[in-house]
């Protein structure tokens, strides 16, 4: 299995609902290091998995939808606890949409898996890996 990973970062503010979150119920900030790992069993005729430039651009496009924003104020997150796990799945959906719309180029046709990892700190991170669909 081949893989190619691109990374970026995003800065957000948010709060959580529920006593289980303790002090994180209050508005707080987070900076996530974000990794998108694209996987496929084979390379294309040019020996590429996916175009690195397009992968980086689409990751940045996905992150720009909420970078430097208070997630509590964004309609798409109304009623959601925007945990690290939840946000990994959200970014995965955005990248799958880009893939299905052809924004990752012809090289992305062989992709079989995508894993999105958000690192909150060197001590804690979460990831989501799922089908390559916009579901």
For the chain, the domains span: 2-18+28-130
- Cα–Cα distance for residue pair 82/94, rounded to 1 Å: 15
The average confidence (pLDDT) of the chain is 94
Q: How confident is the model at residue 134 (pLDDT cuts 50, 70, 90)?
A: low
Q: How confident is the model at residue 107 (pLDDT cuts 50, 70, 90)?
A: confident
Residue-level pLDDT at 133: 76
| Interval 3-23: pLDDT, tens | 999 999 999 999 999 999 999
- Cα–Cα distance for residue pair 72/3, rounded to 1 Å: 34
| Nearest partner of 120 among 93, 92, 82, judged by Cα | 82
Model confidence, pTM = 0.94
CATH class of 2-18+28-130: alpha beta
Better-predicted residue by pLDDT, 133 or 123: 123
């Amino acid at each position: 299995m081949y893989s190619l990973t691109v990374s970026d970062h995003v800065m957000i503010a948010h709060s959580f609902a529920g006593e289980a979150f303790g002090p994180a119920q209050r508005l707080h900030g987070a900076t996530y290091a974000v990794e998108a790992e694209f996987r496929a069993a084979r390379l294309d005729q040019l020996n590429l998995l996916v175009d690195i430039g397009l992968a980086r651009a689409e990751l940045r496009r996905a992150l720009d939808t909420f970078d430097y924003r208070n997630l509590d104020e964004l309609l798409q997150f109304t009623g959601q606890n925007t945990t690290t796990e939840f946000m990994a799945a959200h970014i995965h959906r955005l990248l799958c949409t880009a893939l299905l719309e052809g924004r990752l180029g012809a090289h992305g046709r062989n992709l079989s898996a995508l894993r999105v990892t958000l690192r909150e700190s060197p001590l804690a991170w979460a990831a989501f890996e799922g089908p390559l669909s916009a579901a």
